[in-house]
Structure 1
Amino acid sequence: MHLVNYRVADGVAVGVRTAGAVVDLAAALRHAGMDDAPASGMRTLLAGGPDVLAGAADAAAGAARDGVGVVVDPVLAAPLLDPPRIFAIGRNYAEHAKEGGAEVGEYPMIFFKPSTCIVGDGEPVQIPPTTEKVDWEAELAVVIGTGGKYIAETDALRHVAAYTVSNDVTARDWQRRTSQFDAGKMFDTFLPMGPALVTADEIPDPQALAISTTVNGRTMQDGSTADMVFTVAALVSYVSHGVRLLPGDVILSGTPAGVGYARPTPIFLHPGDEMTVTIEGIGALTNPVVAER
């Protein structure tokens, strides 16, 4: 199931993207004679667990078949706007660590991005006047459904509700000012996500997905999640041994080689550029680059 947020007069509503259409989930649940409470927000839906998600998928399929709740020309927002936390993982692909002159660590490197970074597919990434070295990072985003603490690696994927495409946009000059990455990662609009959350049942192996980035049509990153140092399951387990994971938490699982700053002649983003991150089985996320308004 592909879950989306689409814009309505007073905010966003949860929809299910089917072949050629978006169906309003609340309308679909009511059409199926079900409680529409899970459709009150994406985090509420995810917290309902696999049974609620399965019921939502069935209701959406029925509504689409009957022409109920179909949204005409939906304008999508990011599929998750208010995650409790965004845990980002650094240097989780060996070749990316190598291109930056760094070693892979014994443990996952964790830093954070605020939710104010989030924008959706098609929305602009805004470059502020305080940085001149803005870079791209294609990443598989892991969205937690069932929370928990001290999760065993063998059970970790059961706690994942969905995956989506993300781009950990980074101001390299700010990132290099101190030993902490967060400053270069925190800018408004520096986390495109979307277009949809693809539920975990459609991604049986998150370690077998092609992942790429193009900038202005030129391929910059071309890798596979098979090359992660720490698997998705290992990351979910590791983070849960430090904090209790909550429904809607996001783990950004790292980026493959091919970022701009590490090239023989560094390449950085400028207004007028366009980035597309694509992950096999999940989708393509495209964002124009503009000067901060």
Structure 2
Amino acid sequence: MKLVTFESAGSWRAGIVIDSSIFDVDALLNGDSATSAPSVRQLLAEYGGRLAELSARLIAAAKVNPKAVVGPVDKVRLGPPVTDPSKVLCIGLNYNDHVAETGRALPSHPDIFAKFASSLIGPFDEITCSNITPNLDFEGELAIVIGKQCRSVSAEEALDFVAGVTVLNDITARDLQYRGTQWLAGKAVDGSTPVGPALVTLDEVGDIQNLDIRTRVNGEQVQSSNTHLMIFSVRHLVSYISYFLALSPGDMITTGTPQGIGAKRQPPLWLKPGDTVEVELQNVGVLRNVVR
């Protein structure tokens, strides 16, 4: 199942992608009695433990309610799959090759920082923060979305609490990041972080630890790796974080970037107005954003 958030009459609504078309989830669930549209986060709160059941119900409803179609997926404006997460947690230094290019020692525990919902933008929205920094960098990443409340879960059971996977570009203002000892200023700029295009449930993703990930700037490949090269697996990350922090439906954990970031190139490759940056994750989708 591919869940999306789409724009309708100036507000966000939850949708499902079926055969390259978006259907309104609220219309599929409630028909003519649809009154209020749940967000994807609210949908996960209700169905996070029954996603297969939800998928079957929505697909069956789409067959008998074609009026619920919104339009082709490439003609509808998409927002972040979850527009209102209570937590966006990010892992730094989680690929061996990226750690090597930074000159740091391998971490013994996950390095965690945070973003806010205000930093998230849609998968094809413009990145409009070049006026804030001349040192705008890219970081293609796999991100997971929590489906069920969890606390102190084991690594073995961790994926039972993951709703699915999406793609994230951890756009970073490097000068702001390194002005102090904390990374927040450079990582959580308003409107800086593309996410999407869909939340793809695990049954459609395949092996979460064996997915190719690539980043391109103006068509040139600048990052190429595979999630099996993570230092800390998704299972480990969910278990580690849930030990000290309760995770809720809709919470997002983005799992780090491989080598090739602009800051470590000679000369540095900074994003500038007019550049197009793409992040592609196997079996999940592509982000494509223009810098302004």
Superposition TM-score tier, normalisation by shorter sequence = over 0.9
8 Å CA contact 1:45, 1:52 repeated in 2: no
Query: For residue 100 of structure 1, what is the amino acid of its counterpart?
Result: T
1:59 to 57, 60, 69: 57
8 Å CA contact 2:83, 2:117 repeated in 1: yes
Q: Deviation at 1:51? A: 5.0
8 Å CA contact 2:167, 2:286 repeated in 1: yes
Task: Tell me, yes or no, if structure 1 residue 44 matches structure 2 residue 42.
Answer: yes
Aligned to 2:30: 30
Aligned to 1:186: 188
**Superposition TM-score, scaled by structure 2 size:** 0.94
CA distance in 2, matches of 1:171, 1:51: 37
1:244 to 243, 246, 258: 246
Deviation digits for residues 150-201 of structure 1 (CA, Å, limit 9, x no counterpart): 1111110101011100000001111111221111101112210001100122
Runs of 5+ in structure 1 lacking a partner?
none
Query: For residue 61 of structure 2, what is the amino acid of its counterpart?
Result: A
36 and 163 in structure 1: CA distance in 2 versus 1, 3 angstrom threshold: farther
Q: Secondary structure at the match of 1:82?
A: coil
8 Å CA contact 1:17, 1:23 repeated in 2: yes
Query: How is 1:144-293 mapped onto 2 (pairs within 5 angstroms)?
Result: 144-290=146-292
Q: Deviation at 1:127? A: 2.2
8 Å CA contact 2:39, 2:82 repeated in 1: no
Q: Which moved more, 1:116-125 or 1:63-72?
A: 63-72
Task: Tell me, yes or no, if structure 1 residue 2 matches structure 2 residue 2.
Answer: yes
8 Å CA contact 1:29, 1:56 repeated in 2: no
CA distance in 2, matches of 1:140, 1:36: 34
Aligned to 2:68: 69
CA distance in 2, matches of 1:36, 1:52: 21
Q: Secondary structure at the match of 1:276?
A: strand
8 Å CA contact 1:88, 1:252 repeated in 2: yes
Deviation digits for residues 191-216 of structure 1 (CA, Å, limit 9, x no counterpart): 10001100122224210100010000
Aligned to 2:21: 21
Q: Deviation at 1:136? A: 0.2
Q: Deviation at 1:36? A: 6.7
Deviation digits for residues 15-69 of structure 1 (CA, Å, limit 9, x no counterpart): 10011211111121235x9x97995111111122455422331232223333241
Query: For residue 257 of structure 1, what is the amino acid of its counterpart?
Result: Q
Query: For residue 39 of structure 2, what is the amino acid of its counterpart?
Result: G
CA distance in 1, matches of 2:178, 2:132: 14
For these two proteins, the number of residue pairs brought into alignment is 288
8 Å CA contact 2:130, 2:136 repeated in 1: no
8 Å CA contact 2:278, 2:288 repeated in 1: yes
39 and 281 in structure 1: CA distance in 2 versus 1, 3 angstrom threshold: farther
**Superposition TM-score, scaled by structure 1 size:** 0.93
Q: Which moved more, 1:159-168 or 1:124-133?
A: 124-133
Question: Where has structure 1 moved over 6 Å in runs of 4 or more?
Answer: 35-38
Query: For residue 70 of structure 1, what is the amino acid of its counterpart?
Result: V
Deviation digits for residues 105-149 of structure 1 (CA, Å, limit 9, x no counterpart): 100000011111100021011124331101000010110011121
CA distance in 1, matches of 2:37, 2:259: 38
Q: Deviation at 1:6? A: 0.9
CA distance in 1, matches of 2:42, 2:93: 32
8 Å CA contact 1:135, 1:261 repeated in 2: yes
206 and 39 in structure 1: CA distance in 2 versus 1, 3 angstrom threshold: farther
Q: Which moved more, 1:96-105 or 1:232-241?
A: 96-105
155 and 20 in structure 1: CA distance in 2 versus 1, 3 angstrom threshold: same
